[in-house]
Chain A
């Protein structure tokens, strides 16, 4: 009995919500003035005709640079919590930090060897 009551409440809430949405969209459809014309639909660029393309090509190399930047970015972000607990952990913290740096360094060396760091 209780389950049915809960279910009925759920269904009722769903129906009321659905009716509300339809009523609002219906009111907008009925009342909102809509007079589209070419000038109104034209791309807005501060009142001028748009210049050039909306899609601007970027050099693909920025992608590699962004990835390599992430190496240093994450490195710095992870160093701060280590510094906070440095006293409690001691030498182990230094060793773990160096391993972490070494792992990231391998990635950097790989990118370096592949010639990603060279711009041309």
Chain B
């Protein structure tokens, strides 16, 4: 049903429940496992004993987008992979968030001039938090995760259901627009 998400406008009861839900969600953000490059090893280090993301409830890295809240982009997205990332993002249940980790995911980094790379994850996905570094240290990613938690707590979900359900990158470069559409196209009607 989604009492909060389907609401037309906020009232006292809805906002109170929404605050409670956001508080709960921010303490149980689960990751979608999508290690695209070397930053994912720093992400793995964050799961270890020294940094231990389990202690803030974010220790679960799910193998299925259906059980995850956060899509971590730990590296450059090639033009081949871009439609796949868009598809995985669209298979995640609302509400969902994206973290761009490292220079490559922010702007293309060292591969910016490459013929096969996108210029950053935000050309294909709506990124919430950017974590700079090459590679990102686990502390930095942890800080980024804390920032995301603050965002999750601070952003209302009321009326979310009125958003377009399937995300299509708004400014697709023409040369790989066809590929993204192919990955989404046959499923677009629901």
Closest to A32 in B: B2
Q: Contact: A47 with B188, CB < 8 Å? A: no
Count of residues in A whose CB is under 8 Å from the partner chain = 17
Mask for A23-54, Cβ within 8 A of B = 1, else 0? 00000011111111111101010111000000
A33 near B4 with CB under 8 A, answer yes
User: A31-B17, A31-B21 are known contacts. Are A39 and B166 too (CB-CB below 8 A)?
Assistant: yes
Whether the pair A42, B2 counts as a contact (CB closer than 8 A) is no
When distances are taken between beta carbons in the complex, the residues of chain A under 8 Å from B49 are: none
Query: What does the 1/0 interface line of B156-179 toward A look like (CB < 8 Å)?
Result: 010011000110000000000000
Main secondary structure on A side of the interface with B? loop
B189 — nearest CB in chain A belongs to which residue?
A38
Say which residue of B5, B6, B187 sits within 8 Å of A42 (CB atoms): B187
Please encode chain B, from 31 to 71, with 1 for each CB lying within 8 Å of some chain A CB and 0 for all others.
Answer: 00000000000000000000000000000000011100000
Q: A30-B3, A31-B2, A39-B91 are in contact. Are A44 and B188 (CB under 8 A)?
A: no
Name 22 interchain pairs, CB-CB below 8 A, sorted by A.
A30-B3, A31-B1, A31-B2, A31-B3, A33-B5, A33-B93, A33-B95, A34-B1, A34-B2, A35-B2, A35-B93, A35-B165, A37-B190, A39-B87, A39-B91, A39-B166, A39-B184, A40-B66, A40-B93, A42-B91, A47-B83, A47-B183
Residues of A within 8 A of B (CB): 29-40, 42, 44, 46-48
